[in-house]
Chains A and B, each alone.
Chain A
Amino acid sequence: MKKHGVFEWFRFIDFSLIAITTLLVVYGNLMVYSATRSSQGDPFFYLKKQIIFTLLGILVAVGIALLNYNWFRHYMVPLYIGNIALLLLVLLIGLTTYGATRWISIGFFNLQPSELAKIILILTLSAVLADKKGNIGKISELFTVFAYVGLPLLLIVVQPDLGTGLVLVAITLGLLFISGLKWQHALLIFGIVVLVIFLIFQFNLLKEYQMSRLMVFFNSSADPLGAGYNLLQSKVAIGSGGFLGTGLFSGTQTGLKFLPVRHADFIFSVVGEELGFLGSSFLLGLYFILITRGLAIGASAGNLYGTLVAVGISSMWLFQVLVNVGMTMGIMPITGIPLPFFSYGGSSMLINFAGVGLLLNIYARRFK
């Protein structure tokens, strides 16, 4: 790299992405505080932890931005094996909460390897696809990809963490699309998905709570005090916000705990109630810019691997935003998928920052 003036460095830094991310996390932290301030005990308990995760996330982003992302392509095999090992470890020594085993305790915080698996899948599958030069013309190649994704996916779904599993599927589809998935193959995949859904129902593979969530999705007034409760309360919270909202920290539905897990999966409802259409559409606008920015970085990437990684990250965010926000408004089934940079939770925050770090990295190396 030739020596340029100090200002030359600016050309390597995507300030717009940094700005968007900053806005998102500040906004997100504020909303986490708003959603949790009325909890018993320290009203800042959740906010403090979330700030720590944010700061750690920034370190992760900076660290990853300073590496050369192309290294990940070379370390793809150990990454993949490490990923599988971690997921297996969850099943062996993981913590079980709410009937799911998703976390490994590592001292001050509980790591959620399924979150980590998302980013590892992006990095390794992109490598696989980049090797094929963005062409997956043969059906055998497609099945290789399925097998490749299938193993971590299976380990995640049995935790069970169906939501994260679906994110993996979304990432895979996004990457396959960019890699030139043939429409015949797309139809085949569609067929397989239909078959899988059919088998799931045929053999009653869904857990009861999953089934009732689905029923609620199709008929929101079913079981208003059970599975439909969250959805109804979420819609009440969002709807009651109107155009301007009830005001920050003034949401009664969230403040009075009508909405459970409002700081995690249902944080969008808090935004909707307290900041109304204005605040919610502003948030959606931020996500829109973040995701299109990811795609743009992918388009400008120095190599196919970079493009694929950027697209993978964008796919992950798009799917998570679509499903999470859609779920709070009743147009998506209720699945435990966090809202990037917003939902309370460490692993998710770190992974999203890792995504930002990778995008910055790809942007900085776009000239090569």
Chain B
Amino acid sequence: MVRFDDSIQKRLAIAGVIVIIAFGVLLGRLWTLQIIAGEKYFEMAESNRVRTVSISASRGVIYDRNGEILVNNRPSLVVTVIPSELKNKDVLLRLSELLDMVPNEIEEKLEDKKVDPLKPRTIKYDINEDTAVYIKEHSADFLGVEVKVEPVRNYSTSTVAAHVLGYLGEISEDEFEKMKDKDYKLGDLIGKSGTEKQYEEILCGVRGFQQLEVDASGKVIRILDENESVAGNNLQLTIDNNLQLATEKSLQEAIKAANKEGYKDANAGAALVMNPNTGEILAMASYPTFDPSLFTGGISSKQWAGLNDETSGFPLLNRTMMCSYAPGSVFKPITYLAGLMEGVISYNSTFNCTGKWTGMGESWARYCWKRSGHGQMNLSSGLSNSCDVVFYEIGYKLYKEKGEKLQKWAREFNLGSKTGIDLPSETKGRVPDKAWKKKFNENYPEYQAWMPGDTVNLAIGQGDLLTSPLQIASVYSAIANGGTVWKPHLGKNVLTAEGEEIHEFKKEKVLDIPVPKTIIEKLQKDLRRVIVDGTAKNAFAGFPIKVAGKTGTSQVKSKDDFAWFACYAPLDKPQYVVVVLIEQGGHGGSIAAPAARRILAAVHDIPSTGPVTVLDRSR
């Protein structure tokens, strides 16, 4: 072996050290990646290759009480687009032309940033078959675009019971946050109002999933795991579809009639039918209404704005329970009972109505709706004729002798509180009192004091008192059944997808009103008088069923009067409470009472529906 000079040997040795260092670095890095961070990368590798695809569950069917379908599902041909793949403007333009959509409209639907960019978005529902075939045949021109069949809500009778059923919409970020523990994903459809929202958990079902192994291009290699979706449970409502139809029709006719009578601003109203013995809602109508199928496939922002615009009359509001109004004279039975129960009057007390009441002094004079005066009145004729003077007197006495007892009795009927109906966004109305008035006028010290006139106003259902038509139905149910307030409800049964009943909604008592039977019976008798010879006499002329009820005409500043009517039938064994309210519809006796009559006629299959309006200027 040739010996080189030492320097070469030394340099070779240094080279050896360099090699050792180089491999040391590589080995160290390998250790870091595989041993220290191995788990992290393993998870990344898993998420690389495993895709979980969720399979949405089919939503439960909603039936009426007789098993008629109110909402079910139908297949719809839809076009979906994967946002990340629709960068190509040409495809977007071709698609917008084919689907007759503005490109902006498509982009709007794709915009949702929070949802997985790989998740296909549905941009149009219910495309026709030719379009579907065209897209499939020209799939190369429509990369990222797919045609699928998706189940959508099917409303068997368009707008019927729209407010009761509610509509579906994409889950919002807020809702998503709130329901974190539940199995929702952004982009899912959930109930946004009505029963669909209230019973979301019953209806939604359990989504299924498929765990797929995919390659780098997203192509499915095999199914690793699969869990089938479970359809949502079906829901049976207490609504009777036929009665619902009749109620909606009567409500609309009443509004039309009011318009004809000269009440040009009458364009909204509410009507409902309830079983006074159980709280079951048999029909619930609100006008104006909307078509829930508008929401199928996501409502456009333009349509949404339309539904929330003042000129449309806010059709999404369920006026039976989301809005509250001055009840006017339909409140008088409570004043009646309060007066008797508190002992400020007796059943035989007499009143003299001259059309003007000066109980608080001449300068605070109040007038009866009947300016010419009712003459000699007692409690019974006062109620049947809805004589304001009688109730001014009771209210004033209650104020002077008992303070806030009238409010107490209003609350005994659960006014000022939610009825607890199984629908979202219920109003609780308002029973005004001293404390409320002070707080309400916080910034106006001169209006803070509770005046005797406030109680006097309250006694005839005016002033600051607010009630929803549903609350009034609940009050009249209690009167009809002898004193129990039942929780109004729409849910009747929960059924499995196969039709097996798994839950029955039982009636729930809210409270018993502490009024002796004898006193309620007096009130019931006098409410019957309203129909027989009182303010609703003309409306119910010739009606074969015995009805008891009360008209109401409430005054709202700078608006036409609101027409109310609340009643129950049959008299001896009440099965139905009907409440009708027409905003700015004029007189309760002439507009609302005939509508209630037609609803009761439908209940009892009475062909002659009676007059649409009667001449009745009473309140």
Question: Interface code A86-102, partner B: CB below 8 Å = 1, 0 otherwise?
Answer: 00000000000000000
Least CB distance from B31 to A in Å reads: 7
Indicate if the CB atoms of B41 and A239 lie closer than 8 Å.
Answer: yes
State the Cβ distance, B19 to closest chain A Cβ, in Å: 5
Given the interface contacts A240-B45, A252-B49, A256-B49, does A288 sit within 8 Å of B19 by beta carbon? yes
**Which residues of B line the A interface, CB within 8 A?**
1-2, 4-5, 7-9, 11-12, 14-16, 18-20, 22-23, 25-27, 29-31, 33-35, 37-42, 44-46, 48-49, 213-217, 221
B27 lies within 8 A of A238 (CB): no
Q: Please give the distance in Å from B29's CB to the nearest CB on chain A.
A: 5
Residues of A close to B5: CB separation below 8 A = 134
Known contacts A180-B8, A239-B33, A287-B23; 6 further A-B pairs (Cβ under 8 A): A180-B7, A236-B48, A253-B45, A258-B216, A273-B45, A288-B23
Provide the residues of chain A in CB contact with B8, threshold 8 Å: 134, 178, 180, 304, 307
A101 to chain B minimum Cβ distance, whole angstroms, is: 28
**Nearest-CB distance from A181 to chain B (Å)?**
9
B15 A237 Cβ-Cβ under 8 A: no
Partner of A256, one of B7, B42, B215: B215
Question: Does A281 make an interface contact (CB < 8 A)?
Answer: yes
In the complex, the answer to whether A300 meets B1 with C-beta atoms within 8 Å is: yes
Chain A residues whose CB sits within 8 angstroms of the CB of B213 once the complex forms: 252, 256
Nearest to B11 among chain A residues (CB) is A178
Please tell me if the beta carbons of A242 and B44 are within 8 angstroms of each other in the complex: no
A299 within 8 A of B: yes
Give B505 Cβ to nearest chain A Cβ, in Å. Answer: 51
Residue numbers in B under 8 Å from A295 (CB-CB): 12, 15-16, 19
A314, B15: Cβ atoms closer than 8 Å: yes
- Give the most central of B16, B31, B45, B48: most A CB within 10 Å: B45
Which of A51-59, A155-163, A191-199, A321-329 makes up part of the contact surface? A321-329
Which residues of A sit under 8 angstroms from B42, Cβ to Cβ? Answer: 239-240, 242
Contacts of A16 in B (CB 8 A): none
A280 to B23, CA, bound (A): 12
Let me know if B49 and A329 touch, CB within 8 A: no
A285 CB → nearest B CB, Å: 8
- Say yes or no: B33 contacts A304, CB within 8 Å: no
B residues less than 8 Å from A336 (CB atoms): none
What residues on A are CB-neighbors of B2 within 8 Å?
301-303, 368
Which one, A281, A292, A299, contacts B30 given CB within 8 A?
A281
Tell me the bound Cα distance from A154 to B31 in angstroms.
38
Contact of B1 with A258 in the complex, beta carbons under 8 Å: no
User: Who on chain A is nearest to B45 by CB?
Assistant: A240
* Alpha-carbon distance A272/B214, docked complex (angstroms): 21
Q: Which residues of A contact B39 (CB under 8 A)?
A: 242
Q: In the complex, what distance in Å separates the CA atom of A126 from the CA atom of B48?
A: 49
Query: Binding site of B, secondary structure by majority: helix, strand, loop or mixed?
Result: helix
Complex interface residues of chain A between 220 and 276 (CB less than 8 A to chain B): 233, 235-243, 252-253, 256-260, 272-273, 276
In the assembled complex, A177 has its CB within 8 A of some CB on chain B:
yes
Closest beta carbon of chain A to B87's beta carbon, Å: 13
Asked whether, in the complex, the Cβ of A241 is within 8 Å of the Cβ of B34, the reply is: yes
What distance in Å separates the Cβ of B454 from its nearest Cβ neighbour in chain A? 69
A331 within 8 A of B: yes
CA distance A180 to B15 in the complex (A): 12
B145 → A minimal CB distance (Å): 21
Q: Could you list 22 A-B pairs, sorted by A, with CB under 8 Å? A: A177-B14, A236-B41, A236-B45, A237-B45, A239-B41, A239-B42, A242-B35, A243-B38, A252-B45, A256-B48, A256-B221, A260-B216, A280-B30, A281-B30, A284-B26, A292-B19, A300-B1, A311-B12, A318-B18, A326-B29, A329-B30, A368-B2
CB distance from A4 to the nearest CB of B (A): 18
Contacts of A256 in B (CB 8 A): 48-49, 213-216, 221
CA distance A239 to B48 in the complex (A): 13
Residues in A with CB closer than 8 Å to B16 are 292, 295
| Interchain CB contact under 8 A, A240 and B19 | no
CB distance from A90 to the nearest CB of B (A): 31
A20, B27: Cα distance in complex, Å:
19
Cβ contacts under 8 Å, A300 to chain B: 1
Q: Which parts of A68-102 form the interface with B (CB within 8 Å)?
A: none
> Are B35 and A243 in contact, with the CB atoms below 8 A?
yes
Q: Is the CB of B1 within 8 A of A302?
A: yes
- Give the top 5 A-B pairs by smallest Cβ distance, nearest first: A239-B41, A240-B45, A242-B38, A256-B215, A257-B216
Task: Determine if A366 is an interface residue (Cβ-Cβ < 8 Å).
Answer: yes
B15 touches A178 (CB 8 A): yes
In the complex, A298 has a CB within 8 A of chain B: yes
**A291 on the interface (CB 8 Å rule)?**
yes
Q: How far is the CA of A287 from the CA of B16 in the complex (A)?
A: 13
Q: Name the interface residues of A33-58: CB closer than 8 Å to any CB of B.
A: none
Q: What's the nearest-Cβ distance from chain B to residue A6, in Å?
A: 23
Interface membership of chain A positions 341-368, coded 1 if the CB is closer than 8 angstroms to chain B and 0 otherwise: 0000000000000000000000000111
Q: Hey, which chain A residues are within 8 Å of B216, CB to CB?
A: 256-260
Q: Are B26 and A329 in contact (CB under 8 A)?
A: yes
Q: Is A12 in contact with chain B by the CB < 8 A criterion?
A: no
The reply to whether B25 and A281 form a contact with Cβ atoms under 8 Å apart is no
Min CB–CB distance B370 → chain A (angstroms): 81
Q: Does chain B have a CB within 8 A of A148? A: no
**Given the contacts A253-B49, A256-B49, A258-B49, A238 and B30 also touching, CB distance less than 8 Å:** yes
CA distance A252 to B212 in the complex (A): 13
By a CB distance below 8 angstroms, the chain B residues around A307 are: 4, 8, 12
Q: List residues of chain A with CB within 8 A of the CB of B217.
A: 257
Q: Does A27 contact B (CB under 8 A)?
A: no
Residues of chain A within 8 A of B26, CB atoms compared: 284, 321-322, 325-326, 329
B207 to chain A, nearest CB (A): 26
Docked complex Cα distance between A301 and B46 (Å): 51
CA distance A292 to B5 in the complex (A): 20
Give every chain A residue within 8 A of B40 (Cβ-Cβ): 239
Q: Does A165 contact B (CB under 8 A)?
A: no
Known: A277-B30, A298-B12. A318 touches B19 (CB 8 A): yes
Q: Is the CB of B34 within 8 A of A277?
A: yes
Q: Indicate if A28 sits at the interface (CB-CB under 8 A).
A: no
Pairwise interchain contact A331-B19, C-beta atoms closer than 8 A: no
Determine how close the nearest CB of chain B comes to the CB of A259; give it in whole angstroms. 8
Complex contacts, B221 vs chain A, CB 8 Å: 256
Output the least CB separation between A294 and chain B (Å).
9
Residue of A whose beta carbon sits closest to that of B12: A299
B220 to chain A, nearest CB (A): 11
Please tell me which one of the listed residues B11, B33, B48 contacts residue A272 in the complex, with CB atoms under 8 A apart: B33
| A64 CA / B222 CA spacing, docked (Å) | 50
B30: nearest chain-A partner, CB-CB: A280
Contacts of B27 in A (CB 8 A): 281, 284
Q: Contact: B34 with A280, CB < 8 Å?
A: yes
